[in-house]
Copies of this chain bind each other. A is one copy, B any other.
């Protein structure tokens, strides 16, 4: 409830919703949280939550200060030919890390996932539902989940080696050098022979 004698303004409502969302996501994970539950905890109407934040994914992005919106990223991921998908994903990924503010938030996400199992699970579920799942369906392959995971494993390792541990040859490499080294790896994971059943 708001302090006596003061009507809650737009800012109060917004931050009450964000507080409630953080609590719900932490308690119930990404899948287990609904807009309705967040609205109930914030004592507001669910329609108001939708009005401020849109879908659950967008509310999650705002509540945990996630570095980018999957919805903003997906179109770039899905356009173009399948034969270029490896390079496209890599350039998109490096582009996110190139922005200082985004990089700081990406680092915070990695640190938190490596440190807390619950944060890792929440991150995995969120990315599965909102980004990887949609992308994987476009691969139209029975082993799409494994392929997406292989791609993810190389991208995580690249980020840690280049931006966290700062191994000199990778930290100094240009985007174009990284594309030559890594794009064929990602492309093979997406569409090459990775020996699956």
Contacts and interface: CB of A to CB of B under 8 A. Distances in A.
Contacts of A160: 114, 153, 156-157, 160
A115 B115 contact: yes
Interface stretch (A16-24, A34-42, A76-84, A182-190): A182-190
A146 interface: yes
A124 B153 CA distance: 20
Interface string A162-178: 10111111100100010
A57 interface: no
Contact of A149 (B111, B170, B185): B170
Q: Majority SS of interface residues in chain A?
A: helix
B114 A110 contact: yes
B114 A164 contact: yes
A150 B194 contact: no
A54 interface: no
A170 B153 contact: yes
B169 A158 contact: no
Contacts of A149: 161, 167-170
A168 B121 CA distance: 11
B153 A162 contact: yes
Interface of A: 110-111, 113-115, 120, 123-124, 145-146, 149-150, 152-158, 160-162, 164-170, 173, 177, 180-182, 184-185, 188-189, 194-196
8 contacts: A113-B165, A153-B154, A153-B167, A155-B157, A156-B156, A157-B157, A157-B160, A185-B188
